Structure 1
Amino acid sequence: METLKPKRLGHMVLMVRDIQASCRFYTEVLGLQVSDWIGDKMVFLRAGTDHHDLALAELPADSPDRDDLPRYSRPGLEHFSYLVESEEEIERSVRVLQQHGVTIVRGIGRHGPGNNLFLVFKDPDGNNVEVYCEMTQIPQDGQHRAQVWERNLESFDQHRLERFVVPPPPHLVESKTGKS
């Protein structure tokens, strides 16, 4: 059977209790730079030129009862990712994952912050793994200004779920149709 063909380990997303405290830690202690925010609940950080190597997402206050995919009620890893060559490689990844019987969680989509294509799937232990490509590159000339994206469907997927190869979670479908 075919395999995926990642180029390198990419970024990761961590769930955190206090987004402001965590952002201060990663910028003031580790020296990362802020690329963008989604509202005041998610921040994208970089050490190099990739739009983000680390993103932090704040746990909702009522996280144990939240109907979300995936469901997180504690700090820790939400997903880690691997860079692939191209959009065609992401499309091929769908077929490879399906051949291997791997559960696809979300995607194919295109995030707002970072503008990268994404496809998320489960490993045997239930960890979320993402393959992505076409991430925005930010020159290290100090000219980049962080943007604050609205917390809406377009910041999650600019294609508005049209390219998803699996049914999207109900809360995303509701946000697409304007129902809440």
Structure 2
Amino acid sequence: MEKIRPKKLGHLVLMVRDIQKSVRFYTEVVGLQVSDWISDQMVFLRSGEDHHDLALSQIPKDAEGINDLPHYGRPGLEHFSYLVEDRAEIDRTVKVLQEHGIEIVRGIGKHGPGENLFLVFKDPDGNNVEVYCEMTQIPPGSDYRPQVWERNIDSFDQYRFKHFVVAPPQAVIDAKSGKH
């Protein structure tokens, strides 16, 4: 059977209790730079030229006491990722995952912040693993300025689910329709 062809470990996304406190920690103590925000709910941080190597996502305030994985109501890992060569490799990855009977969670899509293409799937322990490509690069001395994206479909998937190989996450559908 075929295998996925990762080039390097990429970025990870953490769920956090207090995003402002976490941003201060990762910028003032760890030395990362802010690349972009989605509303006041998610921030993208970098240590090098990739748009982000760490993203932080605020645990929803109404998630108190929720500890099961689908709700992400606890601090910790939401997903980690591997860089792949290009869109063709992401398309090939879909076939590889299907051959192996691996659950695909979301994608193929294109995020707003970072502009990267993405495909997310589950490992045997239920962890979300992402393959991505074409992330925005921010070289030293760049005039790149962080922006605040609205929390909407365009920040999640600029393709608006046209290339998804599975049904979009219910939370994103609810947000698109105005439900909470």
TM-score bracket for this pair, using the shorter chain length: over 0.9
Runs of 4+ in 1 over 3 A off after TM superposition: none
Aligned to 1:173: 173
Equivalent in the alignment of 1:12: 12
Counterpart amino acid of residue 54 in structure 1: L
Q: Tell me, which stretches of 5 or more residues in structure 1 are unaligned?
A: none
**In 2, Cα distance between equivalents of 1:99 and 1:64:** 38
Map of 1:125 onto structure 2? 125
- Relative distance call for 1:64 and 1:108 in structure 2 (3 A) is farther
C-alpha separation between the residues in 2 aligned to 1:129 and 1:140? 29
My pick for the range that moved more, 29-38 or 57-66, is 57-66
Q: Compute the displacement of 1:140 (Å).
A: 1.2
Q: Is the 8 A contact 1:84 1:132 kept in 2?
A: yes
The one-character-per-residue Cα deviations of 1:44-64 (angstroms, maximum 9, x if unpaired) are 000000000000001011125
The TM-score normalised by the length of structure 1 is 0.94
Query: Residues of 2 paired with 1:110 and 1:80: CA distance?
Result: 16
Residues 35 and 45 of structure 1 are in contact (CA less than 8 Å); yes or no, is this contact kept in structure 2?
yes
Q: Quick check: 1:50 aligned with 2:50?
A: yes
Unaligned 5+ segments in structure 2 are: none
Moved more, 108-117 or 160-169: 160-169
1:156 shift after superposition = 0.3
Normalization by structure 2: what TM-score? 0.94
Shift of 1:117: 0.2
**8 Å contact from structure 1 (residues 69, 169) kept in 2:** no
How many residues align? The count is: 178
Partner in structure 1 of residue 135 of structure 2:
135
Give the C-alpha shift of residue 170 in structure 1: 2.4
